[in-house]
């Protein structure tokens, strides 16, 4: 399949050139043939090299388990037939890697296989990542997503979040709080240009419980706080990701920040409350008001 595809343009080039040099003498034809053969070999080598480059890093497998359903057909037509699914996985992986490992000397998680699977049944989330085997990851995509109007954008956004989850250093057993993991994943998604749900309500006040800014159940709120930390202390996201590798304790965020996170949390919420007071808050809670 792949070879046939690659050879197609070469075959048509040869046909055209042959017609054009039909009247020339034998010597010219012979050198033209040699030239063409060299070109064919050259292109073949380049193709092999390109395939090798594409598969460098980890193996990608695409599975369509929604088969003969409208969702399965859409997936086949829009993402499998032209190899787009593979390119989306590669592209979003590269982006997540860049955000989570900004420093080349930081050790990287090992990723050997990534399977992108359109599930047969609707899932609770658009993308669910399964990491049951070491270095092998499965991104289960919910078939309900195939009904999105901007299908490609929805797919890239879902796979981007899935690949962020794959690259996140949370060890094989996740010890970091759920809200931090979701917040980091959301941070990568937002950084790639896929915001959370459109904020129709303007500025949204986080559910601050007075303890830590990463306890929020809304991953968009946590992602915004992480973004604030990254701006105050560049490299924070990379350091936090590395810290997750060794487990989690109450000082992990402080250490990655290099200052007490509680203090930054206080500044962050104070600034949000100030802005929302100026703009007219869409929702307020007594606890936040009292800061
Ligand atoms: C890869 O991602 C970049 C940035 O997110 C985007 O500009 C580009 O179009 C993407 N390419 C493909 C093939 O998806
Ligand atoms: C990159 O990481 C290494 C080792 O963890 C550290 O020594 C170095 O300071 C880091 N560089 C930057 C620019 O953060
Ligand atoms: C993840 O994999 C395990 C073992 O292969 C399986 O039992 C589990 O159901 C999978 N989870 C999902 C969401 O598919
Ligand atoms: C899956 O979700 C979509 C959209 O929410 C819905 O139209 C479809 O009927 C659901 N499929 C099943 C099998 O529940």
Residue 25 vs residue 121, higher pLDDT: 121
Are the C-beta atoms of 186 and 196 separated by less than 8 Å? Answer: yes
pLDDT, averaged across the chain: 78
| Cα(38)–Cα(233) distance, integer angstroms | 55
Nearest C-alpha to atom 14 of ligand 1 is from which residue? 88
- Residue 256, pLDDT above cutoff 70: yes
% of the chain exceeding 90 in pLDDT: 45
122 in Cβ contact with 147 (< 8 Å): no
**Residue 200's pLDDT band (boundaries 50, 70, 90)?**
very low
| pLDDT mean over 218-223 | 89
Q: What is the pLDDT of residues 102-153, one digit of tens each?
A: 999 999 999 999 999 999 999 999 999 987 678 899 999 999 999 999 999 9
pLDDT confidence tier of residue 279, bands split at 50, 70 and 90 = low
User: Which residues are CB-neighbours of 59 under 8 A, at least 6 positions away?
Assistant: 112, 113, 114
Contact 257, 236 (CB under 8 A): yes
pLDDT band at 56; cut points 50, 70, 90: low
Task: Report the atom number in ligand 4 closest to the C-alpha of 122.
Answer: 1
**What is the model's pLDDT at position 266?**
86
Domain limits, the chain: 1-56, 58-167, 169-291
**Choice among 4-8, 61-65, 125-129, 195-199 with the minimum mean pLDDT:** 4-8
Residue whose CA is closest, atom 7 of ligand 3? 132
Instruction: Let me know: does 273 contact 288? Beta carbons within 8 Å.
Output: yes
Ligand 2 atom closest to Cα of residue 103: 1
**Per-residue pLDDT at 274 exceeds 90:** no
Looking at all shown ligands, the one closest to residue 101's CA atom is 2
Nearest CA-CA partner of 65 in 159, 154, 138: 138
Going from the Cα of 178 to the center of ligand 2, the distance in angstroms, rounded, reads: 27
Beta-sheet strands, E only, within the chain: 59-64, 113-118, 127-133, 136-141
Residue 121: nearest ligand to its CA?
A: 4
**Per-residue pLDDT for 44 more than 60?**
no
The answer to whether residue 23 scores a pLDDT higher than 60 is no
Ligand 1 centre and the CA of 91: distance in Å?
A: 6
109-123 residue pLDDT tens: 999 999 999 999 999
Nearest CA owner, ligand 1 atom 13 = 87
Whether pLDDT at 3 is above 50:
no
Would the CB of 87 count as within 6 Å of ligand 1? yes
Which residue's CA lies nearest to atom 11 of ligand 2? 103
Is 194 close to ligand 1, i.e. is its CB under 6 Å away? no
């Amino acid at each position: 399949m792949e070879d046939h595809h690659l050879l197609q343009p070469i075959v048509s080039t040869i046909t055209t050139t042959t017609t054009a040099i039909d009247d020339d003498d034998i010597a010219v034809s012979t050198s033209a043939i040699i030239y063409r053969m060299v070109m064919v070999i050259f292109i073949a080598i380049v193709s092999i090299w390109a395939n090798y480059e594409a598969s460098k890093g980890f193996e990608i497998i695409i599975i369509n388990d929604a088969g003969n359903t409208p969702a399965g057909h859409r997936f086949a037509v829009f993402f499998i037939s032209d190899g787009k699914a593979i390119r989306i996985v590669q592209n979003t992986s590269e982006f997540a890697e860049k955000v989570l490992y900004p420093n080349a000397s930081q050790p990287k998680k090992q990723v050997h296989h990534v399977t992108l699977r359109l599930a047969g049944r609707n899932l609770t989330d658009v993308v669910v990542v399964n990491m049951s085997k070491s270095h092998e990851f499965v991104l289960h995509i919910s078939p309900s997503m195939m009904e999105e109007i901007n299908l490609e954008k929805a797919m890239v956004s879902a796979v981007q979040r899935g690949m962020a989850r794959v690259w996140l250093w949370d060890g094989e057993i996740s010890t970091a709080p759920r809200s931090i993991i979701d917040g980091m994943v959301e941070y990568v998604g937002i950084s790639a240009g896929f915001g959370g749900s459109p904020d129709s309500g303007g500025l949204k006040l986080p559910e601050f419980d007075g303890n830590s800014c990463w306890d929020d159940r809304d991953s968009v709120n946590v992602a915004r706080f992480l973004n604030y930390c990254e701006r105050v202390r560049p490299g924070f996201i990379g350091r936090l990701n590395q810290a997750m590798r060794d487990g989690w304790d109450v000082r992990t965020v402080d250490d990655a920040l290099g200052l007490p996170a509680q203090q930054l949390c206080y500044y962050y919420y104070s600034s949000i409350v100030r802005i929302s007071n100026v703009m007219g808050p869409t929702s307020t809670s007594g606890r936040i008001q009292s800061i």
